Amino acid sequence: MRSEGRTAPTIQNVAAAAGVSIASVSRVLNGLTTNEDTIRRVREAVAEVGYVTNAAAKSLKTRQTGQIAFAMENIGNAAYLAMVRAIQPVLRAAGYRLLLHSTNADVDDEIEVLRSLGQRYVDGLVLCPLRVTDRHAEELRRAQVPVVVIGQLPDDVPADNVRADSRTGAGLAVRHLVGTGRRRIALVDGPLDTVPGRARYRGYVDGLRACGLDLDDRLVEFTDFEVAGGAAAMGRVLQRADVDAVFAANDLMALGAMQAVRTVGREIPGDVAVVGMDDTDLAETAWPPLTSVSLGSHERGRLAADLLLQRLADGSRPFVRTTVPPRLQVRASSSEGART
Amino acid sequence: MRSEGRTAPTIQNVAAAAGVSIASVSRVLNGLTTNEDTIRRVREAVAEVGYVTNAAAKSLKTRQTGQIAFAMENIGNAAYLAMVRAIQPVLRAAGYRLLLHSTNADVDDEIEVLRSLGQRYVDGLVLCPLRVTDRHAEELRRAQVPVVVIGQLPDDVPADNVRADSRTGAGLAVRHLVGTGRRRIALVDGPLDTVPGRARYRGYVDGLRACGLDLDDRLVEFTDFEVAGGAAAMGRVLQRADVDAVFAANDLMALGAMQAVRTVGREIPGDVAVVGMDDTDLAETAWPPLTSVSLGSHERGRLAADLLLQRLADGSRPFVRTTVPPRLQVRASSSEGART
DNA sequence: TTGAAAGCGCTACCAA
DNA sequence: TTGGTAGCGCTTTCAA
């Protein structure tokens, strides 16, 4: 803006107004030892000309931006929201500003972010990829700032890594449902070619097997991790099979599944029990409140932020891999007597 | 990262590897007319040394970043999510990357963002302030990049402005409730010292008056625009007064209010009708689906993005102010016969 | 304590 | 078409 004319005041203008050198202005601005009088004059000059530091120039020199980015695939997924809530205060306390970027599950965009955002717009990056391609690995290797990946990462990629164990988590869900008397348990999963989609499918199969149940393909649907997709997928399952429970691979799809169950006039949890995953805010506010497998989103976010700060402080520390265990949060959507 | 040693390759390294001048490298990188052979050699050299542009240096020169920021008060509010979904594709099509920042309703942080983020980290800013203080106005005046404000803005502030009309919207909610037979309508509002909080309170009063109803202070509670706050506030109202409906000033608080209603064993909408505001995804997935006043979040986001792009193209265009009208979206939470 | 000046990596002007 | 080079605004030596 500032249509034509009126260019931004620089440190030169401040120096001129204060009658000191630009070096002195810089020192005052950065809180280095200076004469009281100089400090006062510089401060006045800053206010007078309306000076504000040029971030590009500063970071070109200092190689720091004071910013960290968190890139996720879909900002509408409350699981990421929990991470943001955990990451932000940690980074903020350390003096960093958190910038968010939603890639809309676009791999190219994710790579773009790795390349260019990690290229001096920010001091570090927390990345939540849905799948890790060779290009991800390549960019990760040549990234110029520390990157912490929340998700599965190949062993040879030089980055700190925080993992969930959604396979075990999916197993927990199935066992819980079987344990409360359900036998025909549907699965509404995300795409099989994403890391979480695949892991949850496996966990579902593990769970059935552990309970002595057979896998029935007609009870399984893959869709896109969204509410509408979950509703459509569950609708298809209900049309072709008799079910008494559904495990949805995230809370969004679980909400969709609940809609689908109601659409065919069946009750939750009386006729069909529903279990989601991620244990987001949505689970608590759903009606009936949704049983959900917590994958420790908040905890993973906090860990990621801690790891990033540590690496920012010491770039030579060995790379860390941590896994946060899942935990089942039982609510009314899966307990027989819970209807009010 | 890149622990010790190994500094980022620069344009110099590429030039050396390609056996050309840095000027030629720059030209190839920016797609300016160049010899075929030079182009090839530079491309190879880029790949060889693993070069990636230093964004700080580039934008120091060009005064452009290719980035735009959207700053909101709470990323957990789905109303902002709708805006993001509208803004992102517009900016993306124009070649900009969208960066999000959640200020957590912290005025200082908001000012900080205006000052420094708008100070060469991004080419433009879309800001959603909960309240506009003198400091906001001051920073807006001296901002070095175009800012579009979604929300109420004083007339003398030089920025494009997209507004909702939540006062009228709140009135719509009240009329709808009265029109469907409700008479003791509670209000669960946000803080009275925020622009939306105040506007919605006024609209509520307008609505009651227009329907010939008296304002009863015992039916009104102010809280924080969050689910838990909404639940607590509604709990207080239910304890001291008899109500047959509640208008909550956003969907989050409406969800909380629904919880509170159920906690005291009353039914929705049979005993108590509930109307929210913002018409977010939550309204649709709630049970029963939540009647909500749409404030045109998506539309406002799209308009803001358009205005920003226009100003980026022509800084001298006069400042624009647009208002998006509210619209009532009726769902089961407020219609008598809707229980399934 | 202060000022002069080098230089971060890049673009764009000018001359060849 | 190409290379040399000034300079974007800042920080940080080095001398004074």
A147 touches chain B (CB under 8 A): yes
Q: Are strands B185-189 and B147-150 parallel, antiparallel or unpaired?
A: unpaired
Which residues of chain B are modeled with pLDDT < 50?
Answer: 1-5, 337-340
- Nearest-CA distance B93 → chain A (Å): 13
CA-wise closest residue to A145 among A8, A327, A315, A330: A315
pLDDT of A254: 98
Q: At CA B269, angle to CA B263 and CA B275, rounded to 5?
A: 95
Topology annotation, domain B166-294+328-334 = Rossmann fold (3.40.50)
For B145-168, the pLDDT digits (tens) are 999 999 999 989 999 999 999 999
A315 touches chain B (CB under 8 A): yes
Chain center to CA of B107: 15
Q: Is the dihedral of CA B275, B276, B280, B282 positive or negative?
A: negative
Q: Is the pLDDT of residue A3 over 50?
A: no
B29 CB less than 7 Å from any atom of strand C? yes
Spell out which residues of A between 6 and 45 contact strand D, using CB within 7 Å: 7-8, 10-12, 22-23, 26-27, 29-30
Q: Are strands B124-127 and B67-72 parallel, antiparallel or unpaired?
A: parallel
CA-wise closest residue to B76 among A287, A78, A298: A78
Say whether B142 and A50 touch across the interface (CB within 8 A): yes
Q: Is the dihedral of CA A105, A111, A116, A121 positive or negative?
A: positive
CA-based radius of gyration for chain B: 26
Structure-model confidence comparison of residues A143 and A187, the more confident one: A187
CATH H-level, domain A67-164+297-325: superfamily: Response regulator (3.40.50.2300)
In chain C, which nucleotides are within 7 Å of a protein Cβ? Answer: 1-5, 7-13
CA atom of A257 to C1′ atom of C1, Å: 71
Nearest residue to nucleotide D3 when comparing alpha carbons to its C1'?
Answer: B21
pLDDT of A118: 64
- Among partner residues B98, B115, B311, which is closest to A1 by beta-carbon distance? B311
Cα separation, B256 vs B282, whole angstroms: 12
| Kind and range of the H or E run holding B73 | none
Nearest residue to nucleotide D12 when comparing alpha carbons to its C1'?
Answer: A23
pLDDT of B6: 59
CA-wise closest residue to B259 among B227, B224, B296, B216: B227
Domain residue limits, chain A: 11-53, 67-164+297-325, 166-294+328-334
B104 CB less than 7 Å from any atom of strand C? no
Does B67-164+297-325 match B166-294+328-334 in CATH topology? Answer: yes
Q: Which residue has the tokens 């900002």?
A: A75
Q: Is the pLDDT of residue A90 over 90?
A: yes
Q: Which residue has the tokens 């900009």?
A: B96
Distances (CA, A) of A91 to A70, A159, A162, B1: 11, 18, 17, 17
- Strands ordered across the beta sheet of A160-164: A321-324, A160-164, A147-150, A124-127, A67-72, A97-102, B97-102, B67-72, B124-127, B147-150, B160-164, B321-324
pLDDT of B118: 64
A8 touches chain B (CB under 8 A): yes
Q: Are strands B160-164 and B147-150 parallel, antiparallel or unpaired?
A: parallel
User: Maximum distance among all alpha carbons in chain B?
Assistant: 84
Burial level of A65, CB count in 10 A (0-12/13-18/19+)? buried
- Per DSSP, the three-state class of A257 is helix
pLDDT of B109: 86
- Nearest-CA distance B159 → chain A (Å): 9
Residues on chain B touching A117 (C-beta within 8 angstroms): 97
Joined together, the tokens standing for residue B70 give: 């959207």
- Contact criterion met (CB below 8 Å) for A268 and A274: yes
Q: Is the pLDDT of residue A209 over 60?
A: yes
Give the nucleotide with minimal C1' distance to the Cα of A13: D9
Mean of pLDDT values over A190-199 = 94
Residues paired with residue A188 on neighbouring β-strands, in sequence order? A221, A248
% of chain A exceeding 70 in pLDDT: 96
For B309-336, the pLDDT digits (tens) are 999 999 889 999 999 999 999 999 998 6
Residues on chain A touching B311 (C-beta within 8 angstroms): 1
Cα separation, B91 vs A25, whole angstroms: 37
Q: Are strands A220-222 and A185-189 parallel, antiparallel or unpaired?
A: parallel
B61 CB less than 7 Å from any atom of strand D? yes
- Strands ordered across the beta sheet of B185-189: B220-222, B185-189, B245-248, B273-277, B291-294, B327-329
CA atom of B290 to C1′ atom of C6, Å: 65
Q: Is the pLDDT of residue A173 over 90?
A: yes
pLDDT of B138: 87
B36 CB less than 7 Å from any atom of strand D? no
Say whether A65 and B56 touch across the interface (CB within 8 A): yes
Any idea what DSSP says for residue A217? Answer: G
Cα separation, B171 vs B88, whole angstroms: 31
Burial level of A321, CB count in 10 A (0-12/13-18/19+)? middle
B98 touches chain A (CB under 8 A): yes
Cα separation, A163 vs A147, whole angstroms: 14
Please state at what angle helix B195-210 crosses helix B166-179, rounded to 10 degrees: 40
CA atom of A62 to C1′ atom of C3, Å: 21
Cα separation, A227 vs A220, whole angstroms: 17
State residue B338 phi and psi, 5-degree precision: -90, 0
Q: Is the pLDDT of residue A93 over 80?
A: yes
State residue A220 phi and psi, 5-degree precision: -115, 135
Nearest residue to nucleotide C12 when comparing alpha carbons to its C1'?
Answer: B23
Q: Which residue has the tokens 């838990």?
A: B228
